[in-house]
Structure 1
Amino acid sequence: MRRPDVLVVGAGGGGAALAARLSEDEDREVLVLEAGPVPRHPSGFPPGLLDARLVPGARPGHAFVRSYAVHLTPERPYSVPRGRILGGSTTVNGGYFIRARREDFDRWAAEADDPFWSYERVLPFLRSLENDLDLGSGPLHGDRGPVRIRRTDLRHPAAEAFRAAAEELGFPEEADKNAQDAPGFGPVPSNAVDGERINTGLAYLLDVLDRPNLTVLGGRTVRAVTVSRGRATGVVVERGGRRSTVEAGEIVLCAGSFASPHLLHLSGIGPAKDLERLGIPVVQGLPSVGAAIGDHPQIVLECTPRRPMDGPSGSWLGGALHLSSSGGEHEGDLEILQSLLPLSALVAGTTTAPGAPLAFLASVQTPRRSGGLRTESADPEVPPRIDYGYLETPDDRRRLREAVRATAALAATDAFGEISSGLLEPGPETLGDDHALDRWIHSRLGTSQHTCGTVPLGSAVDAYGRVHGLSGLRVADTSILPTAPLRGPAATAVLVGELIAHAIRHEPG
């Protein structure tokens, strides 16, 4: 194999898009190293893995998921999954593909001190990455991109009841959640088409694996970036217990918001004092690497069905309602997402669970950074300590109470009462008491698994993903987003790959 011009670490949401775009230039040699397996054909993905009615990441111990032990609060341990196969987490997530909001892009542009990230600048990339099967080509959408997008079908009885309940409470319709309209109720744009989850491996890479300048290798775990005289020169790769060094002209980390900062730490790039304490030689002091995390706290609320209903036909997702918390600072910062499968079915990996409760996922998506990721050993096998710092402030707790109470109000409408006899819990007494509701929320607290901000734009990397103080090293995954967006970041993860690829191909310097 020739020495690659660009070595991409990770073939997930950002990495697959980045590698595909870079390899469009025939004179650029691109190598992708993925820790998980790399199927060369859709049939190579195990049965059920691409079934859009299932969420493989929700199944404990799934073969193609790596679980990270985290703390949502100091007293609330949790396990967070990440995909470990071609396509990364886009292979095991829910297929939710909603764009970030204009406010998010403008905030990130300000933090990066560069208009490259403004909404007007990124909109052409959002259009070019998608093939919107519902709306086709237009000022906001594209019909020639690699990622096929279809909005969820709202004809399921539970989705119809949710829509009617939102209307009963006076929430507006939001037919296209990938536009920038006022938040409200609508179908979920999804990279699930005809029941199949179109991960970024399928969308970007499988059709171009025969390019002579593109090599994608699975089963390779990158342990460190090698640096000489201020320039990244290669990576240390482990395969089958044996290590070797692969050199390249440029390294791009696309390993995700946990693995990318951990890899930087292990390479001597991060908070100097912490690294010195671990005996890791400091290559570049960057205190913001791992200093905080952006994500969205989430609560699952369940309702008792009045009658048996068929399982979903194409996707586990129903409708979504976005509404604003009482602070008014961020429009549409609360999300109520509907699952057409009971939680027990999602966890078991089945498409039916007769008589099981219906589920809503209520989350707070207000942009906020807290917690952090701390490397605890120079041994790469020792996982980092990951703290989310949820519920730290009165506003954190208030917003989550509002999300729960809004979900309870929907469940209590006459419209939703057509299919459900109400919430299992919390009951009226708990809902009416802030302190009691806070305790109930903490005991059931989860996360939307939207981790961002561990290698943030501005303080750790520039607008083009280049790591400050070093040459030949970039990061191109959601870790560079300073805060999690007001919508789940799956679509934005792909956009990051597109943007950094464009920067490498076209931007000066």
Structure 2
Amino acid sequence: MMEKFNVIVIGSGSAGGTLAARLSEDADRRVLLIEAGPDYPDSEDFPQDLLNASAMSGAVPGHPNNWGYVGNLTPELPYSVARGKILGGSSSLNGCYFIRGTKADFDRWVEAGNTEWSYDKVLPYYKKLENDLNFGETEHHSGEGPVPIYRELEKPYSVTKAFYQACEELGFVWEEDKNAGGEPGYGPVPLNAVDGMRINTGLAYINPIRNRSNLVVSGETLALRIIFNGKQAIGVEVERKGSKEIIYGDEIVLSAGAFNSPHLLMLSGIGSKEELEAAGVEVLHHLPGVGKGFTDHPDVQLGYKPKQALGPDEQRDNLQAVLNFTSLGSEHPGDLEIMPMYKAFGEAMLGGSGSKFKGVTDIIRRPNQTLKSMKGISKRRFIQQALHQGDLFIVVGLQYSKGRGDITLTSSDPKVQPKIDYNYLENEYDLSRLREGMRLTVEILKSEAFKPYFKKLTEIDDATLNDDDKLNAWMRSHLATAIHASGSAKMGPSDDPNAVVDQYGKVHGINGLWVADTSIFPQVPSRGPAATAIMVGERIADFIKESSKEESEITID
């Protein structure tokens, strides 16, 4: 007898794990959650390096739980882009930064035709997901959700205090609660981490409900394409245990992330007709916005040698403080971000310490995987980071970029990654604001408050900092990305030629197919998208529940 599910969710990450958990609250709804990476039903078996909130070892090229995408930040700069391939998806790999999108972000979403995504309408879902350990039940927060959120308010590190004092010296406002919708300023970073342990959506949403008989989690199951009857989605072709099979479902939800979700749409015949035909894929539905116009947060890391080493008690959390501010003349509030890191590069990525080459040694403990993952990326930048990995650094991020990226299908083989072009820093507007952020960061480092900690800058000199052209060249060569890709299958009304889904997450022109992850954001939020991705899982779960009711007014377009 053919097994069939009411809903199949592809991807167990920030949105997918959340959505599967909420949909399975209805005992009559059979839900299948597919994860390409391993599943860990017992939280104690979860890889310990991925639970360490102060490290991001999963982002290292060659890590078995990292998809290891290669994207071109500029035509000259290929870059290894980490995405989670494990229960919890990228919430198992990220930096635990958990700041909500702002009211201004959601105002832009509404202006793009998505009235269901106003700040007032999403706030209840932000509250629903969180257990705020600092503020508890308030107008802005909840103390009952599955994700614990903590910020260090009582005993910030000494260098954090210096950062705060420097920001105050420079005239910025104090923002104690980054999730309360206040004016951008400096303050503590909310983290989805408790006592140094990263809490991913697998731990927060899925493992606590394993007893539900109507929820099936299938790890090590690679989705290859969506199966259709005409333009009705009816199932998913997967590969597991070395063989291919088709699993059938009434509703299919792509929550595979900003790269995988559009990739699966294109492999299934949904996308630009010309590009699909060029890649040898039969066209099911021409939808040119698939993979086009995505946004992210370009950033650079400004390294410095400290006067004194931070002790282990001041490195439990790699993130603790952040300054969000608006660039000169910008119409986008909080379009720049400055965030000090409390571990050197090697320690942050590997969770270790020791000689400046220890990080390199640790990486090549998996030589075959590492070399394969690094194929095509910048070896020069990797060597730069290795040589300076004993330095501390501050991340300078452009939180509202004018540039847009593209994802292009190059093969009909699901195991061949698409071409990813970020198109970063192609316009003067983005360059000028990132220069402003760089120079302000140097002011902070050279402030009176930072004198006990700052010794000298590394990799950059005053002549470069003071010359626009030289600084542009330096930023382009030292460019990184926050890995916050969004908008690769963006939501919008059907008369928007670039929209892929409607504001409920349903794919335009297709029945029974939804997308719920950062790929549907019209624009990446001006704060990191982790909290917003989980919120989207919560919100679209309710949309799917509503759509299944006979009396619902929501219809497939």
Q: TM-score, normalization: structure 1?
A: 0.97
Cα distance change, pair 32–178 in 1 and its aligned pair in 2 (3 A):
same
Q: Determine if contact 2:55/2:350 at 8 Å carries over to the other structure.
A: no
* Per-residue deviation, 1:314: 3.4
What is aligned with 2:515?
475
Moved more, 349-358 or 301-310: 349-358
What is aligned with 1:504?
544
Residue 490 (str. 1) matches residue 530 (str. 2): yes
1:456 & 1:47 partners in 2: Cα distance? 35
Q: Determine if contact 2:402/2:429 at 8 Å carries over to the other structure.
A: no
Matches within 5 A, 1:280-295: 280-295=281-296
What is aligned with 1:257?
258
Q: What secondary structure does 2:52 align onto?
A: coil
What is aligned with 1:60?
61
1:160 & 1:58 partners in 2: Cα distance? 29
Moved more, 248-257 or 331-340: 331-340
Q: What secondary structure does 1:37 align onto?
A: coil
Q: What secondary structure does 1:479 align onto?
A: helix
What is aligned with 1:356?
390
1:379 & 1:2 partners in 2: Cα distance? 26
What is aligned with 1:385?
419
* Per-residue deviation, 1:313: 5.0
Matches within 5 A, 1:104-503: 104-111=105-112, 113-152=113-152, 155-311=156-312, 312=314, 314-350=316-352, 356-458=390-492, 459-503=499-543
* CA offsets 1:83-111 (integer angstroms, 9 cap, x no match): 11000000011000000011111211232
Q: What secondary structure does 2:50 align onto?
A: coil
Q: Determine if contact 1:369/1:483 at 8 Å carries over to the other structure.
A: no
2:408 & 2:152 partners in 1: Cα distance? 39
**Identity value in percent:** 45
2:135 & 2:288 partners in 1: Cα distance? 44
1:368 & 1:250 partners in 2: Cα distance? 35
* CA offsets 1:173-194 (integer angstroms, 9 cap, x no match): 1100011111111010110111
Q: Determine if contact 1:373/1:454 at 8 Å carries over to the other structure.
A: yes
What is aligned with 2:382?
none
Partner letter of residue 128 of structure 1?
A: K
1:164 & 1:425 partners in 2: Cα distance? 26
Matches within 5 A, 1:33-48: 33-48=34-49
* CA offsets 1:108-149 (integer angstroms, 9 cap, x no match): 1232x2421000111111111100000001111011111110
* CA offsets 1:334-385 (integer angstroms, 9 cap, x no match): 0011211111212333267799322111110015451200000111121100
* CA offsets 1:429-486 (integer angstroms, 9 cap, x no match): 1111000101111110000100001000011100110000000000000000011110
Partner letter of residue 184 of structure 1?
A: G
* CA offsets 1:161-211 (integer angstroms, 9 cap, x no match): 211211121211110001111111101011011111000111101010110
Moved more, 155-164 or 472-481: 155-164
* CA offsets 1:222-268 (integer angstroms, 9 cap, x no match): 00001112100000001133110001000000000000000000000
1:2 & 1:142 partners in 2: Cα distance? 39
1:233 & 1:110 partners in 2: Cα distance? 34
* Per-residue deviation, 1:324: 1.0
Structure 2: gaps spanning 5 or more residues: 357-388, 493-498
Partner letter of residue 405 of structure 2?
A: G
Task: Kindly report the root-mean-square deviation, in angstroms, between the aligned alpha carbons of the 2 structures.
Answer: 1.5
> Runs (4+) of structure 1 moved beyond 4 Å?
351-355
Q: Determine if contact 1:316/1:339 at 8 Å carries over to the other structure.
A: yes
1:214 & 1:240 partners in 2: Cα distance? 21
Q: Determine if contact 1:368/1:484 at 8 Å carries over to the other structure.
A: no
Q: What secondary structure does 1:144 align onto?
A: coil
Structure 1: gaps spanning 5 or more residues: none
Q: What secondary structure does 1:347 align onto?
A: helix
* Per-residue deviation, 1:3: 1.4
Q: Determine if contact 1:367/1:483 at 8 Å carries over to the other structure.
A: no
Q: Determine if contact 1:324/1:334 at 8 Å carries over to the other structure.
A: yes
Moved more, 325-334 or 201-210: 325-334
1:357 & 1:313 partners in 2: Cα distance? 14
* Per-residue deviation, 1:61: 1.7
Q: Determine if contact 1:225/1:264 at 8 Å carries over to the other structure.
A: yes
Cα distance change, pair 313–431 in 1 and its aligned pair in 2 (3 A):
closer
What is aligned with 2:373?
none
* Per-residue deviation, 1:419: 1.2
Moved more, 368-377 or 290-299: 368-377
Q: Determine if contact 1:58/1:346 at 8 Å carries over to the other structure.
A: no
What is aligned with 2:83?
82
How many equivalent residue pairs?
508
* Per-residue deviation, 1:25: 0.7
Q: TM-score, normalization: structure 2?
A: 0.89
Partner letter of residue 438 of structure 1?
A: N
What is aligned with 2:381?
none
Q: Determine if contact 2:59/2:66 at 8 Å carries over to the other structure.
A: no
2:350 & 2:132 partners in 1: Cα distance? 31
Cα distance change, pair 468–293 in 1 and its aligned pair in 2 (3 A):
same
1:466 & 1:353 partners in 2: Cα distance? 51
1:415 & 1:353 partners in 2: Cα distance? 29
1:114 & 1:68 partners in 2: Cα distance? 30
Q: What secondary structure does 1:186 align onto?
A: strand
Partner letter of residue 336 of structure 2?
A: L
Residue 3 (str. 1) matches residue 4 (str. 2): yes
2:280 & 2:395 partners in 1: Cα distance? 43
Q: Determine if contact 2:67/2:82 at 8 Å carries over to the other structure.
A: yes
